[in-house]
Structure 1
Amino acid sequence: MRKWLVPAMLLSLLAAGCNTVARNETSPSPQNDNRVRAQQSSPQKTTISSPKQVAAHLEDLARHVPGVKGAHCVVFKNKAVVGIDVAGNLDRSRVGTVKYAVAEAFHKDPYGVDAIVTADIDLSHRLSELGADIRRGRPLAGLGEEMADIIGRIVPQIPRDVQPMKMEPKSTEQKNLDRQLQQAGSKNQKKL
């Protein structure tokens, strides 16, 4: 009898613990909610048909934000990256504020909704070079060059991987020049 008493008690405690009782504190069902519901709306991104015009438009939009001295934009397919130039004496928080103001201006624009805004000096300069390459008719070559430069700065240099430079054997002219310099140096020492 004792063998069955312990499992029976555990089973009854388990059943009592899993009992669900309706409480008055529960939230109402969404089906009985009489409040007005609205769909969240944000500006819809429009398809970019002319990247040059969109780049010029976004650059102009960014330049009109107070604190922006210049802007460079590159548009690829339906994405835009905008680098802004700000005064060099601005502190980090003020630069963040200016960058946020540009992003806010872009948020209201159908072409700028998904644009990426950066205030990094190096990236902004690289964007201007890439834009110049695109205008010259070499977008892929320009992109490849700039990406190589960016990645070259990101990838760390590990001292263990450094190979010492090998010295080239000296030419006979260099050996003769070295010999003449040594002889001239020894003559000067004898005179002293």
Structure 2
Amino acid sequence: MLKYAKLIMTLALAIPLLFGCAANNYDNEARNNDNRVQNVRYNPPDRNRPTNQETRMEVAQTAADRVADLKEVSDANVIVANRTAYVAVILSNHLKGKMTKDVERKIANTVKQTDPKIDNVFVSTNPDFVERMADYSQKLQQGRPVSGLFEEFSEMVRRVFPTAR
């Protein structure tokens, strides 16, 4: 009987040890799998290609100054959002407020020469647009938060330039 008691005791101690090691191996393997998942390299999106979620806006003061230097233009504000420039201009008196395709093309070329990364240029002489662009330019130059401003700006752009993305 003592023999059986020793055998039962040995089995009682051996079985938890065997399963304990197996569980420990399972835990180690699970941890290794977790580490493999955590070490997967994340490739961020191409920063040269803007997405609809991006809210990068900046005043293109050099472009605005060069546009304002054109004889056809009295004053200009240029805001760049991603790779698109929005230009608000007040035309010189001799044009009597009438934008021609040639003047629009000249303004667009001037902006693109200032920043070759710009793909699209939208130009307007709409008085409301001119006034709001001056306000947005001032706010951006003062360092105001862009997030809420971007939504408001985007809505205005959709109204003034329905073909803009």
Q: Could you say which TM-score interval applies, normalised by the shorter chain? A: 0.3 to 0.5
* Structure ID, larger Rg: 1
- Give the TM-score normalised by structure 2: 0.48
Pick the structure with more strand per residue.
2
- Give the TM-score normalised by structure 1: 0.42
